Structure 1
Amino acid sequence: MMRKQFVLSVLAGLCAVMFFGACSKTGTPGGTAKVDLRLTDAPGPFEHVYLDIQGIEFHTDESGWQSADVLLPGIYDVLKLRNGVDSLIASATLPTGTLSQVRVILGDENSFVIDGEQIPFKVPSGKQSGLKFNVHQELLSDGSYTVWTDFDVAKSIVETGNGAYIVKPVIRVFTELTNGRIEGVVAPMSPDYSVIVTATSETDTATAIPNEDGYFLMSGLPEGNYTVIAEPDSTSGLAVSTVADVPVKFGIISDLGTLTLAPAVVEE
């Protein structure tokens, strides 16, 4: 097998993007606000994507950089964090003001697993100065804010024609107030083949890999009408299943029920 090469100069944009959805919008000037950092993922057709998270820092314009302890420092397999599953990385109490940046400090044990081969990668300045992300969110006194890190692996890691892989970050940013969701179940499912679910509108495309029981959930979708396609790989002998005109509205989960994969029709 040709050793896979990666273009990683833009990986810093891939690993995380922070957004803040205020659970509480009332408060008075001064005081503190609670901020939680959570890790989740829009998966791709890879066995594992490992990130070695060692530190978190928050920057407010009024108070500068402040460190927050990672609850469990170490390696996170982000592909396990899908279909509504996330992991609390850090929790901090910050002074009120404007939160302008978040910095994620990575260790050395970052890697992909593709076709059974584990390939380490380095993130420029990931260990020294960390991965910095602009936020620009006002923190109100006694407010409670949730922070997700979410990236679309399927669209961010692209295989080229010569067997190489190029990293082109595709980041999904959404808040609790702008979170459209689609869920459903793909059947039948089997460990002998894989299935990728794609939701496409005029302005957006999202992907999901169902769990072993076929369940999938896509989050952070803008409002609109979507076409959802469940596509098994070519070894399955099954045809794609398509649902058109799926409405997505904020605050509501669009439940598709079961998407049935019928046997593929073979043309003679």
Structure 2
Amino acid sequence: MRILKTFYLKYFLIAGLIIFGLTSCSEDNTDNPESGTANLTVRMTDAPGDYDAVFVDVQDVEIHVQTDGTLEGDTDGDGWISVGNVDTGVYDLLGLTGGVTQVLANSEVPAGYVSQMRLVLGSENSVVIDGETKSLNVPSGQESGLKFQIDKDFVAGENYSFLLDFDVDKSVVVTGNGGYNLNPVIRVNTEANAGKVVGTVLPPADFTADLTSLVVLSNNDVTISAYTDANGNFSLNGVPAGTYKLEVIPDDDSGLSIYTIDEVVVEENSTNDLGEIQL
């Protein structure tokens, strides 16, 4: 009888150790930064351009992920997956100025090292010049996507937000045969480490016409611009920390002079509100 009791005691002790081991493994997986998912938000905005409209046909947003586990959605085994829940459609980039942004995706993605992101465009891209719509060719975007370097570890449970900032004036290129190509110049900003500059541009008290101004923030490395809205408000998003020169450039036909602030300091994760700027 004593032998039987000893046998059952050893049995339950071994079973307990196995259960403890399995529980520990489960907890270790939970703590592993490359197990689970991270939240990813991708938004799009645009610097002003001298066109009536520039339409881009967004079909997908994909990321290249390196992870120890199985990568769900990687049908080709090349590490590229769609971020999922992409708000596809044809967007006018010139409608995304003055601080206006378009959310392209807000999704849960696998944790791991993300080397690149790519924006996959369809065929419905066009530019409108003096009221005339012209086809906008995208040489590489329709096949492999427009790629951006990310080089960031996505940790499970963390949130990551990226802003794709087009520069239309540099992105639309006239070809030798009179056509138009979209060779996108896009600044990718990780908004978690960036700042913002906002303010309101006011015309002189005796100025009665509608006024739109171009606000340009620049230093040796970065140039970010946006138009003011109908109330004179502007918002320059995704600004890397640093010291900048700010210029408010009124419409040419307004007769107003350019207003300059020589030093605008931008800090990480903060908003520099310049308040009212009186022209």
TM-score normalised by the shorter chain: which range applies? 0.7 to 0.9
Shift of 1:156: 4.3
Give, as a single letter, the amino acid of the residue that structure 2 aligns with 1:105: V
Question: Residue 33 in 1 paired to residue 38 in 2?
Answer: yes
Give, as a single letter, the amino acid of the residue that structure 1 aligns with 2:61: I
Shift of 1:61: 2.1
Kindly tell me: are residues 155 and 125 of structure 1, through their superposed partners in 2, closer, same or farther at Cα, counting changes over 3 Å? closer
Give, as a single letter, the amino acid of the residue that structure 2 aligns with 1:141: A
Question: Residue 151 in 1 paired to residue 169 in 2?
Answer: no
Question: Separation in 2 of the partners of 1:236 and 1:166?
Answer: 33
Q: Number of residue pairs matched?
A: 234
Shift of 1:215: 0.7
The root-mean-square deviation of aligned C-alpha atoms, in Å, is 3.1
* Greater helix proportion: 2
Question: Separation in 2 of the partners of 1:132 and 1:114?
Answer: 27
Match of 1:139 among 154, 157, 162: 154
Question: Separation in 2 of the partners of 1:190 and 1:48?
Answer: 27
Shift of 1:167: 6.6
1:88 matched residue in structure 2: 103
1:178 matched residue in structure 2: 193
Work out which of the two has the higher radius of gyration on C-alpha atoms and give 1 or 2. Answer: 2
* 1:180–1:222 CA contact under 8 A, matched in 2: yes
* 1:60–1:99 CA contact under 8 A, matched in 2: yes
* 2:165–2:187 CA contact under 8 A, matched in 1: yes
Shift of 1:216: 0.7
Question: Separation in 1 of the partners of 2:194 and 2:242?
Answer: 12
Query: Greater shift after overlay, 115-124 or 199-208?
Result: 199-208
Give, as a single letter, the amino acid of the residue that structure 1 aligns with 2:99: G
Matching of residues 61-76 of structure 1 within 5 Å: 61-62=66-67, 63=71, 64-76=79-91
1:205 matched residue in structure 2: 223
SS of equivalent residue, structure 1 residue 235 = helix
| TM-score, with length taken from structure 2 | 0.71
For structure 2, the 5+ residue unaligned runs are 1-29, 72-78
Give, as a single letter, the amino acid of the residue that structure 2 aligns with 1:206: I
Question: Residue 123 in 1 paired to residue 138 in 2?
Answer: yes
Question: Separation in 2 of the partners of 1:89 and 1:140?
Answer: 21
| TM-score, with length taken from structure 1 | 0.74
SS of equivalent residue, structure 1 residue 150 = strand
Give, as a single letter, the amino acid of the residue that structure 1 aligns with 2:276: T
Match of 2:252 among 214, 224, 234: 234
* 1:52–1:110 CA contact under 8 A, matched in 2: yes
Q: Deviations over 1:200-221 (max 9, x none)?
A: 3344322211111111111232
Question: Separation in 2 of the partners of 1:190 and 1:116?
Answer: 28
Question: Separation in 1 of the partners of 2:94 and 2:191?
Answer: 22
2:240 matched residue in structure 1: 222
* 2:214–2:249 CA contact under 8 A, matched in 1: yes
* 1:226–1:247 CA contact under 8 A, matched in 2: yes
SS of equivalent residue, structure 1 residue 151 = strand
Give, as a single letter, the amino acid of the residue that structure 2 aligns with 1:257: G
1:21 matched residue in structure 2: none
Shift of 1:59: 2.1
* 1:35–1:144 CA contact under 8 A, matched in 2: yes
Shift of 1:110: 0.8
Shift of 1:154: 4.2
Give, as a single letter, the amino acid of the residue that structure 2 aligns with 1:89: L
